[in-house]
């Protein structure tokens, strides 16, 4: 599918709020791709598709993951919406015909982060976190850091996510811890 067809399909399948969020993530990713020298087409397409599996129910996430040999770890089994990244990465190829491993990986890790995040992965993770409708207390600080320091902003977002998730009593995925530790070690 081309951009217009993908956008029309998402508009039809996502809730209006989720579609608006998606287009905000495209705008945020577009800006960061220009700022940090990332391929603009990849960044925009990964952003457009990052939540393409978000409309699936818990059971549909689990079924789709099982059918496509996506690993369902214990945390994801208990919180199946964590699978909408990995499921979305496969859906991007199967439904939307996007056969680009870099785009798929950025979609895969946009919710949890992962070890060895590249520039595109960081941009999509951050764009999802700081798009213009996000309004949690620390968002402005992270937005400001994302103007100049991609790694610093990503670490800040991962830290904030871990703290927030812990405070709400939800499960923290190991990939988020791995992502944060990896970036901090590499920064030293
Ligand atoms: Fe998402
Ligand atoms: Fe999102």
Q: Compute, in angstroms, the gap from residue 125 CA to the centroid of ligand 2.
A: 9
Number of compact structural domains in the chain: 1
Give 168-175's long-range contacts (Cβ < 8 A, gap of 24+).
Answer: 170/79, 171/75, 171/78, 171/79, 172/75, 173/75, 173/76, 173/82, 173/112, 174/73, 174/75, 175/109, 175/112, 175/113, 175/114, 175/115
Q: What is the pLDDT of residue 96?
A: 98
Q: Compute, in angstroms, the gap from residue 175 CA to the centroid of ligand 1.
A: 15
By percentage, how much of the chain surpasses pLDDT 70? 100
> From the CB of residue 77, how many other CB atoms can be counted at a distance below 10 Å?
12
Structure tokens, 104: 């798929």
Q: What is the pLDDT of residue 130?
A: 98
Residues lying with their CB under 5 A of ligand 1, a single-atom ion = 51, 111
Q: Compute, in angstroms, the gap from residue 79 CA to the centroid of ligand 2.
A: 16
Q: Compute, in angstroms, the gap from residue 127 CA to the centroid of ligand 2.
A: 8
- Provide the residue range defining the domain that includes 36: 3-187
Cα–Cα dist 24/27, whole Å? 5
pLDDT in tens, 24-54: 999 999 999 999 999 999 999 999 999 999 9
pLDDT in tens, 72-92: 999 999 999 999 999 999 999
* Mean of pLDDT values over 143-152: 98
Q: What is the mean pLDDT of the chain?
A: 98
CATH number of the domain residue 179 falls in: 1.10.3210.10
Which ligand does the CA of 87 lie closest to? 1
Residues lying with their CB under 5 A of ligand 2, a single-atom ion = 51, 128
Q: What is the pLDDT of residue 184?
A: 98
Q: Compute, in angstroms, the gap from residue 112 CA to the centroid of ligand 1.
A: 9
Instruction: State the pLDDT confidence band at 160, using cuts at 50, 70 and 90.
Output: very high
Q: What is the pLDDT of residue 39?
A: 98
| C-alpha dist (Å) from residue 76 to 52, 79, 131, 137, 171 | 18, 5, 25, 27, 9
The residue with tokens 């945390």 is 75
Q: What is the pLDDT of residue 90?
A: 98
């Amino acid at each position: 599918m081309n951009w217009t067809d993908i956008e029309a399909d998402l508009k039809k399948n996502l809730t209006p709020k989720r579609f608006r969020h998606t287009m905000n993530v495209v705008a945020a990713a577009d800006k960061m791709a220009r700022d940090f020298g990332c391929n603009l087409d990849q960044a925009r397409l990964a952003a457009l598709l990052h939540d393409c599996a978000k409309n699936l129910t818990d059971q549909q996430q689990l079924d789709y993951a099982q059918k496509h040999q996506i690993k369902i770890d214990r945390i994801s089994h208990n919180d199946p919406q964590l699978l909408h990244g990995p499921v979305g990465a496969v859906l991007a190829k199967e439904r939307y015909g996007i056969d680009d491993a870099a785009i798929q990986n950025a979609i895969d890790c946009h919710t949890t982060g992962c070890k060895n995040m590249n520039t595109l992965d960081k941009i999509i993770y951050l764009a999802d976190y700081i798009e213009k409708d996000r309004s949690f207390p620390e968002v402005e600080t992270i937005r400001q850091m994302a103007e100049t320091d991609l790694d610093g902003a990503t670490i800040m977002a991962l830290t904030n996510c871990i703290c927030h998730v812990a405070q709400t009593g939800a499960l923290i995925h190991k990939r988020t811890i791995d992502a944060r530790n990896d970036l901090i070690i590499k920064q030293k």
